[in-house]
Amino acid sequence: MPAPDRSRLSDLLARERARFADDHPRSAAEYASARAALFGGVPMTWMNKASGGFPLYLDAAHGARVRDLDGRVYVDFALGDTGAMAGHAPAATVAAVRAQLERGLTVMMPTRDASWVGTELARRFGVARWSFALTATDANRWAIRLARAVTGRAKILVNSYCYHGTVDETLVKVDEHGAQVIREGNVGAAVDPTTTTRVVEYNDVAALERELSYGDVACVLMEPALTNVGIVLPEDGYLAAVRSLCTQTGTLLINDETHTVSAGPGGATGAWGLHPDLVTIGKAIGGGIPCGAYGMSAELADRLESMPDLDLVDMGGVGGTLAGNPVSMTAMRATLSEVLTDDVWPAMIALADRFGDAVDEVIDAHELPWSVSRLGARVEYRFCRPAPRTGGESAAAADEELEDYLHTYLANRDVLLTPFHNMALMSPATTAGDVDRHTEVFTAAVEELVG
């Protein structure tokens, strides 16, 4: 069957946006008045990614549910774009943080939680020595600096259409002619990132081999599976080839597990038996409290610590005053020890499969040219079939109007997806009933669309 009829789609989107505006007068009013004081009218400009026309304002969030200012309660599959993968306000994390709040928020001293968290992350991700940040972005920045320092090489390599936070070097892509270029819309880049970065398509082993052969790349920074241009999964042998090309060329491999932690307690690294030199992560492991972490092999840590020229203590460029603060540390400890424990993934993955199977049935029933991509507890529908195998293919499959229609239709019936793409994440608090609610509404949205 051809892609859905465009004029029908526009009419349906207009209808759904009108309903959205009617149903959310309080959020609409807050948004209208926020422009005076807030850049872009929102606390952070990405919050303008709002399919219904304006963002919903939060009242409260618990477990897999959020309630907005107009009193509507949603099944939340966005889960803070992974920041709330533990479920909103998980009891153990809240209790630990509450206790810490009475005992000091930020000091210039370590707390005992840090070594527990380091030991646990080492068990899960297989790299021995850990350090902390407040965001995954900073974890990536600092991991890149350390990789440059230890290899003495200037460049890094990333995959086209990757996202690793607002890290300057990573905002590059391969264009339709195969050229390495700055990403469109890059805000105030200090230098053209193609001078700092080599970029290849995900799953393209030949391009990786070529770009690493110059011997000037300190590290490959990658998600084991792309998640930020929609999910793109590795082909057979791809990740093994990445590892061996890095080893052959003396290039360090950094796995950014910030989103791929959906694959298992040790992320894709643990689930797929990968062997990176460094791992970066943030978001989920703090249960919603700001945190980030980067880990490296003991051998790498020893080499770095024995380099006398590196200022790792003061103004050298690796550091943040509030990084490793007691609140973040206790949040990570509680979340890892009591909420996102090893045993919760099988049920979350089963729910993601239930979600994906149901969407597949709808796609097949209507012979839509769509597909479903699965990454452990994360699942997504794509407007192409077969599923894309590179970032470029994935970007080309985007359809903003169709996405907006589905997101708004779902939101109007109390189901939220991640505002970017069509991604759904399961938490320990998500239930089969939540998934079935999505199935019911998604089915209705598609039936109206295909007529």
Residues that bind ligand PMP (CB under 6 A): 81, 135-137, 140, 163-165, 223, 228, 256, 258-259, 282-283
Least separation in angstroms between CB 165 and ligand PMP: 3
When the beta carbons of 82 and 412 are compared against ligand PMP, the nearer one is 82
Least separation in angstroms between CB 258 and ligand PMP: 4
When the beta carbons of 135 and 335 are compared against ligand PMP, the nearer one is 135
When the beta carbons of 4 and 391 are compared against ligand PMP, the nearer one is 391
Residue 253's H or E segment, with its range, is strand 252-256
Class of residue 92 by CB neighbours under 10 A (exposed 0-12, middle 13-18, buried 19+): middle
CB 193 within 8 A of CB 171: yes
Backbone dihedral region for residue 189 (phi beyond 0: left; psi -120 to 50: alpha; all else: beta) = beta
When the beta carbons of 4 and 392 are compared against ligand PMP, the nearer one is 392
> CB 178: neighbour CB atoms within 10 A?
10
CB 397 within 8 A of CB 350: no
Task: Return d(Cα 358, Cα 83) in angstroms, integer.
Answer: 26
Least separation in angstroms between CB 419 and ligand PMP: 12
User: Whose CB is nearest to ligand PMP?
Assistant: 165
Least separation in angstroms between CB 136 and ligand PMP: 3
Least separation in angstroms between CB 426 and ligand PMP: 17
β-pairing verdict for 65-68 and 73-76 = antiparallel
- Single-letter residue type at 44: M
CB 372 within 8 A of CB 384: no
> CB 91: neighbour CB atoms within 10 A?
14
When the beta carbons of 211 and 256 are compared against ligand PMP, the nearer one is 256
Residue with tokens 């300190």: 218
Least separation in angstroms between CB 169 and ligand PMP: 13
When the beta carbons of 136 and 446 are compared against ligand PMP, the nearer one is 136
